[in-house]
Structures are given as structure tokens and as C-alpha cells.
Amino acid sequence: MRRVISGYIRAVDAINYRVGRLIMYGIFVLMAILLWSSISKTFFVPSLWTLEMAQFVMVGYYVLGGPYSIQLGSNVRMDLLYGEWSTRRKAWFDVFTVLLLIFYLCVLLYGAVSSTAYSLGYWGSEPFSFFGGLLTGAEEVGRMERSPTTWRPYLWPVKAVMVLGLFLMLLQCTSELCKDVLRIKGETI
């Protein structure tokens, strides 16, 4: 069992490390979009797509970078008492908080999947069966949701990125839970 857990931790950490390192350069994409927005507003006709595209890039940057942040331990933590605790006590507290986070992420993931299904034209109450039906050919994509702005981009790509990011965050949280359980048992990771 120890080998399975260690393999899971290594695999999830490797995936989220690579995704996080790649997404970290998304800040330059965001800067380029905002720079073009400033230039076009100053010298040319203002671009309609820049503000919304910057928001979409920021969603991807934030949601896909979250698991990497958790992996590095760079998430915000109130260190009033935590810093003085032993490693085992920290692990017990982290198990409790990561279980709450996993529950919250499951709720968010369900909402993100529902919202993505809606953006693909599904108005029912079973979003997971909709995506299963898309894979088997039993369902079809309906009228796709578009942004109400002048640019009117489709919203399913950014919603799909949110689903992917929340799924990776959930995997990273279960990896952290496994690490904490190993710390409680006194094993090294």
C-alpha cells in the first residue's frame, strides 16, 4: 500500500509541477494582452477583445497555477500558532483542513462541470451523463453559450479550463492528504 500511495504522490506532484511551471509564463501572455490594449486605445481604434481575453487568461493562470502553489506550500496560511507546532501536530491539523478543502473542491467541480455542460447547450440536470453521452454519441452539442459582450466569444473553453484546474487541484489535495497521513505515521516522504 505504501508503494501505491508513494506512486500516486509522485505522479500527481509531477503533473502539477509541469503544468504549474508552464502556466507560470501565462503572466507574460497577460502582460502582452494588456500592453496591446493600452497601445490600441492610445494610437488606434480600441480592441474589443482585450479586456475579456485578459480575464480568460487570468482565470487559466489562477486556476491552473493553484495546484502548483499548494504543492510548493506557498498558499496563504495563518501562522499564529502553526509555526511552533511539531511536524506530527501540523499533519493532523492539515488532514482536517484538507478534508474540508476536498469537500469544497468537489462542490466547485460539480458546479464547473454543470456550467460547462450548460455552455455546450445542455439544459438538463445530469451534466456527467451529458458528457458521457457526448463520448458515446447519445448526446449532441446544443446552442452554445456566448458572452454577452460585443466580442461574443464562446464560453465553453474557459469553463473547460476551470474544470481541468479544479480537477488538478482536487488531485493535489488528495496527494497532500496522503503526505499528511504518512507524516502522522512517522514516515518520510
pLDDT at 2: 87
State the pLDDT confidence band at 54, using cuts at 50, 70 and 90.
Answer: very high
Contacts of 35 (CB under 8 A, 6+ apart): none
What percent helix, strand, coil does the chain show, rounded to 5? Answer: 75, 0, 25
Place of cell 466547485: 108
State the pLDDT confidence band at 52, using cuts at 50, 70 and 90.
Answer: very high
Phi and psi at 57, nearest 5°, equal -65, -40
Please give the DSSP secondary-structure letter assigned to residue 141: -
User: Is residue 26, in this structure, part of any structural domain at all?
Assistant: yes
Contacts of 167 (CB under 8 A, 6+ apart): 109
The range of the structural domain enclosing residue 59 comes to 2-184
- Interhelix angle 2-23/156-184, rounded to 10 degrees, is 140
User: Is residue 155, in this structure, part of any structural domain at all?
Assistant: yes
Q: Indicate whether 187 pLDDT > 90.
A: no
Please give the DSSP secondary-structure letter assigned to residue 47: P
Q: Which three cell numbers stand for residue 181?
A: 497521513
When pLDDT is averaged across residues 89-99 and rounded to a whole number, the result is 94
Contact 180, 94 (CB under 8 A): yes
Q: Indicate whether 77 pLDDT > 80.
A: no
The total domain count for the chain is 1
User: Is residue 43, in this structure, part of any structural domain at all?
Assistant: yes
User: Is residue 189, in this structure, part of any structural domain at all?
Assistant: no
User: Is residue 8, in this structure, part of any structural domain at all?
Assistant: yes
User: Is residue 13, in this structure, part of any structural domain at all?
Assistant: yes
176, with CB counted inside 10 A (0-12, 13-18, 19+), is buried
pLDDT digits (tens, 9 = 90+) for 97-114: 999 999 999 999 999 999
**Residue 151 to residues 60, 80, 148, 159, Cα–Cα distance (Å):** 19, 47, 8, 17
Q: Indicate whether 78 pLDDT > 80.
A: no
Q: Which three cell numbers stand for residue 168?
A: 488538478
Place of cell 451529458: 130
Q: Indicate whether 166 pLDDT > 90.
A: yes
Three-class secondary structure of residue 153 per DSSP: coil
User: Is residue 23, in this structure, part of any structural domain at all?
Assistant: yes
Place of cell 496560511: 77
